[in-house]
Structure 1
Amino acid sequence: MPDSKTPTTELTSQYMAQVGNDLERNAKEQDRIGAEIDALQEQLRALQHDHTVLTNMRNALGVTDTATQPAPEADATPSVPRQKATPQSGAGKRVRAKKTATAQDTEAVKKPAAKKPEAAAKATAAKTTQPTLVELIRRHLTDQSEPRSAAEIATALGQAHPDRNIKTTVVRTTVEGLVAKSHAQRTKQGSSVYYTTTDAQAPAAAAPAADDQAEVS
């Protein structure tokens, strides 16, 4: 009897170990996909914001173009049918004169109003010149003398930019993209991962060389 129970116990242990590994891989995959979804959502919000700004600018430019076009009534007035009687011809001239004056007044009213949407579009465009998350991360890493983790970067950027909802998962995905493009470097200390910018590596590497030359001399 003891011999028959031993294989069953070993098989159960193997299943438990496999299930534990599968659960761990599943949790990591959920974290990875969740971070990608957060990054995509932030990119979508940025694109929607840019779309709104561009639409407002296009509408403003469209209003300006319409206001500067000549009134169609002024060009169409010469094509008046011939009048049989002199009094009717004079009445037609008065009607044309009234139409021309009305068109000129309408154009004079539209021109000052067309400047407002253009100014509003310029002001809106000026507000959109905010740095992207990639630029903020690269600037932060460049200013740091030591490697920083994704959580530390997210905390620092959140304090510096409280109006932007900066999450650690989004920062980690973004900085990993910089690592893939060789714009940042990843180092691992135990179970923690830290990041530095590649721009800061050159001065640090040149310093030991200068010290070696000084020792040789």
Structure 2
Amino acid sequence: MSETTAQGTELTSQYSAQVASDLERNRKEQERLTGEIEALQNQLVALRHDHTVLVNIQGALGVPAESDAPAPEPVTAVPTPRKKAVSTGAGKQTTGEKPALAKKKRAGTKAAVATPAPRSAGPKLVDLVREHLTSQAEPRSAAEITTALQQQHPDRAVKTTVVRTTLEGLVAKNQAQRSKQGSSVFYTTPETAAPQADEQTPQQSA
């Protein structure tokens, strides 16, 4: 009886050690997969942010947005497995029609989602920047214009990089002028620069 009890105790100890090892390995694997999922989600968030910035730059340059481009669909962390369709006689006839209908519905849904994507119901950023420059009597930097537009339009995501790109686009179209003071770059409109030249003329003639 004592030998049987000892063998049973030893066997139980071995099983306990094996289970503990398996649990630890399972826990580490879960931590590894969780870290990979979080990294992928962070990459997805960064890509969506870059997409928004690029769309804003495209709108600032006056390039029409591609309405036919499909809107990015949200990605869940853990995809749910698809259930296999039951292959019955009546089901085969309907399964041939359902994918086509599903595609049409999906395409209609994407088109409906893609249509309101560019929230350009209000004025474009290029128009806001041009109006702000026109209302200013002194040159303004991209950062100063960005701060002013953020205060005037708190509902819009105005970024300095997008404003600077918009200003350079206006300079290329001769709708704004660029001046440099030291290492800083300032922008004005031709209408703002003209009165300064007119004011200097009578002083020189006097």
The structure that has the greater radius of gyration is: 1
Output the TM-score relative to the length of structure 2: 0.44
More helix by share: 1
